[in-house]
Amino acid sequence: MKCRKCGETAVINMRQHKLALCADHFGQWVPAQVEKSIHKYKMFTPEERVLVAASGGKDSLALWDILLRLGYHADGLYLGLGIDGGFDYSGESQRKCEAFVSKFESSNNPEVASPDSWTPTLHILSIPELYGASIPQAAQRVQRGRGKPCSVCGLIKRHEMNRIAHDLGYSALATGHNLDDEAAALFGNTMTWQVGYLARQGPVLPAQDGFARKIKPLCRLYEREMAAYCLVRGIDYIYEECPYSLGATSIAHKELLAELERRSPGARQNFYLSFLKAKEEGFLDDHQVPPARMHACERCGQPTTAPDLCAFCRLWVRVKSQE
């Protein structure tokens, strides 16, 4: 297969776009797609500072690389979760983020269109060091050994990502969710008609008092495109998934959608993009929940609807009481 732009050997064929590209042209095509999404969904402006939630996986490291190549001021945040899984999953993920950012520290990297001497920073935060328990330990104590730690993990990650983005004055918090992730989430929310979630699902969640703006600049790119981008760009990432993700419903939904995609290229993209279009046209407008009355959590100050402590602080109170 030949590259549509130059006739060299193609490294990827994107059937949904009827487009095959060589390594060079694919390496340029991806950032151009991300730039389009940033403008289309008004994610942020060149003057704004963005914090990329970097997990060490392909999507978030590719995202960080793309934003830097596009000339944006993008720093990273790695949250150490203390997950081992028999292969030091968290330690390995952190090392991938550190290796990624260290490439940019040798200042004269011509690939990065950063102004004057600015180089990206990786903020690292360790949950076990800060709060005295790893995610599996915290979950074990509050769930009394039942179930996976994923919901506890989600709550802690959301709180901490928001806290750092807000406290350090970033305009937006960018996550590496790709089109496969978003389509699977949409599928899950539709299966159970979670109208509230559907009304909030999208590439941008606007800032609210105390909550940073959340953005998903990769929402129109397939997971396999992100893997290919890392390969083309020489980005080393952690291949293993979180050991607790095995058997997750979202993975089953991804597999179903992948099968649909195989039969009908572009199906997954159509599913997600037509949903966004329908939303733009007012579908679900009646289901937009008016902002709830929030007040500051007595312990951490983050907005909450609960009477005293937010869910994150309540969780740690319970974890401590089970020590």
The residues binding ligand AMP (CB under 6 A) are 53-55, 59-60, 77-79, 81, 157, 175-177
Our finding on whether 221 is near ligand FES (CB under 6 A) is no
State the binding string over 64-93 for ligand FES (x if CB under 6 A, else -): -----------------x------------
**Closer CB to ligand AMP, 14 or 184, in the complex:** 184
Q: Which of 149, 202, 203, 217 binds ligand FES (CB under 6 A)?
A: 149
Strand pairing partners for 73?
49
233 binds, among Zn ion, ligand FES, ligand AMP, none (CB under 5 to 8 A by kind): none
Q: Which of 28, 245, 249, 274 binds ligand FES (CB under 6 A)?
A: 245
299 binds, among Zn ion, ligand FES, ligand AMP, none (CB under 5 to 8 A by kind): Zn ion
Burial readout 231-258 (b: 16 or more C-beta within 10 A, e: otherwise): ebbebebbeeebebeeeeeeeebbeebb
Our finding on whether 254 is near Zn ion (CB under 5 A) is no
CB of 284 to ligand AMP, least distance (A): 23
Our finding on whether 63 is near ligand FES (CB under 6 A) is no
Helices 223-233 and 179-191, axial angle in degrees (round to 10):
160
Our finding on whether 14 is near Zn ion (CB under 5 A) is no
What is the Cβ-side half-sphere exposure of residue 160, based on CA atoms within 13 angstroms?
A: 23
Our finding on whether 310 is near Zn ion (CB under 5 A) is yes
Residue 245, amino acid = S
**Closer CB to ligand AMP, 79 or 152, in the complex:** 79
**Closer CB to ligand FES, 103 or 163, in the complex:** 163
Residue whose tokens read 């590719």: 62
Q: What is the CA radius of gyration of the chain?
A: 20
105 binds, among ligand AMP, ligand FES, Zn ion, none (CB under 5 to 8 A by kind): none
**Dist CA 314 CA 299 (whole Å):** 9
- How far, CA to CA in Å, does 207 sit from each of 44, 80, 103, 210? 12, 25, 32, 8
**8 Å CB contact between 46 and 71:** yes
**8 Å CB contact between 35 and 70:** yes
DSSP H helices in 132-206: 135-143, 150-167, 179-191, 195-200
Other beta carbons within 10 Å of 31: 18
Q: Which of residues 89-148 bind ligand FES (CB under 6 A)?
A: 135
CB of 66 to ligand FES, least distance (A): 23
225 binds, among ligand FES, Zn ion, ligand AMP, none (CB under 5 to 8 A by kind): none
User: Judged by CB under 6 A, which stretch of 23-31, 225-233, 239-247, 255-263 contacts ligand FES?
Assistant: 239-247
DSSP conformational letter for 211: B
The DSSP element (H or E) to which 173 belongs, if any, is: strand 172-174
Q: Report the interface residues with ligand FES, using CB under 6 A.
A: 81, 135, 149-150, 153, 242, 244-245
